[in-house]
Amino acid sequence: MGWFGVQSSSILVAVSMIFSWMYLGNTTVNVHGKTSRNEMLKMGKCDIYEGSWVVDETYPMYNSSSCPYIRKEFNCQKYGRPDQLYLQYRWQPRDCDLPGFDGKDFLRRFKGKKIMYVGDSLSLNHWQSMVCLLYVVVSDQSRILRETNDTISTFVFQDYDLSVMLFHSQYLVDIENEQNGRILKLDSLKNGEIWKNIDILVFNTWLWWYRTGPKQP
């Protein structure tokens, strides 16, 4: 469970980095006329990838044990992990501050939009965590609708017409059955037609690329 614990503590960082540029309405300049940390971020003069992990006592932002959308093999707390410090780490850039995540504000800003995570089980973690971040701020949780088909799983926040989706794809590109076996077609993205109708796409792929033999899907 330790590896998955690290993944769950990293999910909020991924969410913050993906969407941080969309939360930059409130920036300030201090009384001495110097550029504030938030203004540095807005002007693109801050490298958000240069920084360190810090403990934040306000974390975690939701209780994974009470969120019904976390798969049991990723739900460390519910199934007995005794420590909780790994849930309280927040990414802190060296020269600026990332905007804090506000679920209600997020729902308002992305009303009517479609957000899709595309990738492997790490994308699944991110997708489930995003849904839980929004689940805890929705007043009528019965208005969250789940839809599934062969390739796409979707949560619809009906009061906001917001869809948060998962498209499972280990390699992003296509695998075709040909005469000499299963071939990874690096120049083929048939599923890309589905992605064209999405407002925000979050891609992830890496884990399966270096696997060979029986470990390769």
Q: Could you report the per-residue pLDDT of 15-70, keeping only the tens digit for each?
A: 545 555 455 444 443 434 445 777 766 667 888 899 999 999 999 999 888 899 98
Position 59: which residue type?
Y
Query: Which DSSP state fits 143?
Result: G
What pLDDT score was predicted for residue 167?
Answer: 96
What pLDDT score was predicted for residue 28?
Answer: 40
Token readout for 134 is: 């929004």
What pLDDT score was predicted for residue 184?
Answer: 86
Confidence of residue 6 (pLDDT cuts 50, 70, 90): very low
Question: Rounded CA gap, 17 and 15, in Å?
Answer: 6
What pLDDT score was predicted for residue 35?
Answer: 57
What pLDDT score was predicted for residue 151?
Answer: 86
What pLDDT score was predicted for residue 115?
Answer: 98
Question: Rounded CA gap, 139 and 147, in Å?
Answer: 20
Who wins on pLDDT, 123 or 11?
Answer: 123
What pLDDT score was predicted for residue 29?
Answer: 36
Q: Could you report the per-residue pLDDT of 162-208, keeping only the tens digit for each?
A: 999 999 998 999 988 889 888 889 999 988 888 999 999 999 988 88
Residues forming beta bridges with residue 54, ordered by sequence position? 90
Strands annotated E in 59-143: 89-93, 114-119
State CA 141 to chain mean position distance: 20
What pLDDT score was predicted for residue 18?
Answer: 53
Q: Could you report the per-residue pLDDT of 105-150, keeping only the tens digit for each?
A: 999 999 999 999 999 989 999 999 999 999 999 999 999 999 998 8
What pLDDT score was predicted for residue 206?
Answer: 85
pTM: 0.79
Who wins on pLDDT, 118 or 209?
Answer: 118
Instruction: Reply yes or no: is the peptide bond before residue 60 cis, omega within 30 of 0.
Output: yes
- Whether 91 shows a pLDDT value over 90: the answer reads yes
Contact 13, 91 (CB under 8 A): yes
